[in-house]
Amino acid sequence: MARAKTGEGHAARSRPMEEKPGMAGRFHRPIKVTVLGAGSGFTPVLTNDLLSIPGHEGIELALVDTDRKRLDVMHKVVRLIAEARGCDPAMVTASTDRRKVMAGSDYLVCTVEVSGLECVRHDNDIPKKYGIDQCIGDTTGPGGLFKGLRTIPVFLEILKDAERLCPGAIVLNYTNPMNMMCLAAGRASAMSVVGLCHSVQGTGRQLAERAKVPYEELEWECAGINHLAWFTKLEHRGASLYPKLIRQAKRDLENPVPGEAREFWDRVRKDVMIHFGAFVTESSGHLSEYLPWYRKRRDLLKRYMVPRYGGESGFYARDWPVWRRESDKWRRNAIAGKVPLPGERSWEYASYIVEAREKNAPYAFHGNVMNERRGAGPLVGNLLRDGCVEVACLADRNGVRPTAFGDLPPHMAAVCRSNMSVFDLGATAAIERSVEAAIHALYLDPLTAAVCSLAEIRDMTLEMFRAERKYLKGYR
């Protein structure tokens, strides 16, 4: 079982997501959930999860998207899901104007995507001209920064409306760049915001499989920042699993598996574990973009990068438009009855957080929150106090309460801090609409700085501002 230290000094059990816990009891009231960016691929899964909660007294779902066509299609899909779950489809409403439906919401789920497909190639191809090779490019580096510059102002406007229309709502954010989004919200909004990712629960399961131990028997502690959180403790029956995993990693790096298995080499994370002594929560493709060591030369790319999430160059820019088309096709087929609707409740955190609060049944998960709240001291002692961290949290009747982790090992904390400085300036740039702060953020980005001079970084940033000016209103 996974444990994390709470602020009250006792242990909070982090229940494995694969158990899909169904908590006893019933809701004490009907609730309302508003999904913002409802055209997202998250929506069918998350709404099915919510409507699958046992014992709910009725869940009103409000769907919001600025794209009327995608919203209308999703409205039909979610109504079908509601009907399949024995719920009243009339409880599912939709609007392109969030202000018409947000009032009285108990929960806001944010899955917004600003600009759709229009900036995907700019985020990848302009940095590529300057020698910066990205795999995903939506949470850090030039691509992640500019996604934040486009998205954060919209998010803050949503939160401003929420402060007036539903000030008691909990905001569950799924939109990247996770750290910058939650950081900007923590600085500029009074709403309760927690960022939800898949990294911790997915990686924990992956490590149990690699170590060949039951996940239910795994004991671990994990903290850091989104996509760069460290499993500082990883044990089975009191013995560390790291000696075994490090031996395996060295063998894997020396003798790579041929053929299709290349996708699962996970070479960057294995190499980091060998040198730093702990495993990191996100895929090698994401992680490689947070570090200065792996994507700056052709020989390093050839040695460490493998297909897809293993680090492939330009993977997200190439494949995300394909995923979007496939998602749109699935929706049409679902409405036509040609494909099944979502079945079992998924492992996503959102519905379990809602259930825990409404039933007052404590539930532990890992979330992205501000490191220091109301002068109570930092959750991770040697990370930036005015930063966003990913730590164990407890959900119950009182909402979401993050837990204190203590200090990370110094070398792990230093890697997190190098990226937190980028996010600090990136959030500032988005809040203040400052071009200069955005340039400064990329001056400090570990991968960008490993490849480019200061003058080159400035030129690249200004070129990206010109290319994406349609979605960067008010920056000066």
Structure tokens at 347: 């492992």
Quote the tokens at residue 3.
């444990």
User: Pick the catalytic residue: 107, 174, 215, 290?
Assistant: 290
Place of tokens 């779950």: 85
Question: What 3-state DSSP class applies to 90?
Answer: helix
**Residue 290 falls in the annotated catalytic set:** yes
Give the sign of the dihedral formed by CA 427, CA 429, CA 430, CA 435: negative
Secondary structure of residue 418 in the 3-state scheme: helix
CA–CA dist 110, 191 (Å, integer): 13
List the structure tokens of 33: 């959930």
The whole-angstrom separation of Cα 464 and Cα 126 is 7
Q: Can you list the pairs that 128-133 forms with residues at least 24 positions away whose Cβ atoms lie under 8 Å?
A: 128/314, 129/460, 130/451, 130/452, 130/456, 130/457, 130/459, 130/460, 131/296, 131/451, 131/452, 132/295, 132/447, 132/448, 132/451, 132/452, 132/460, 133/295, 133/296, 133/301, 133/313
In the DSSP assignment, the letter for residue 38 is T
d(CA 139, CA 177): 4
Terminal alpha carbon distance of the chain:
50
Structure-block tokens of residue 127: 């940095």
Structure tokens at 263: 């996708």
Active site (annotated) includes residue 411: no
Report the distance separating Cα 102 and Cα 93, nearest Å. Answer: 11
* Euclidean distance between CA atoms 374 and 102, whole angstroms: 27
Six-digit token string for 114: 């600003």
Contact 364, 12 (CB under 8 A): yes
- Element of type H or E holding 108: strand 107-110
Non-local CB neighbours of 190 within 8 Å, separated by 6+ positions:
163, 167
Residue 350 belongs to what H/E stretch? helix 350-359
Closest listed residue to residue 388, CA positions, set 406, 368, 412: 368
Pairing of strands 399-402, 388-396: antiparallel
Catalytic residue ranges:
198, 290
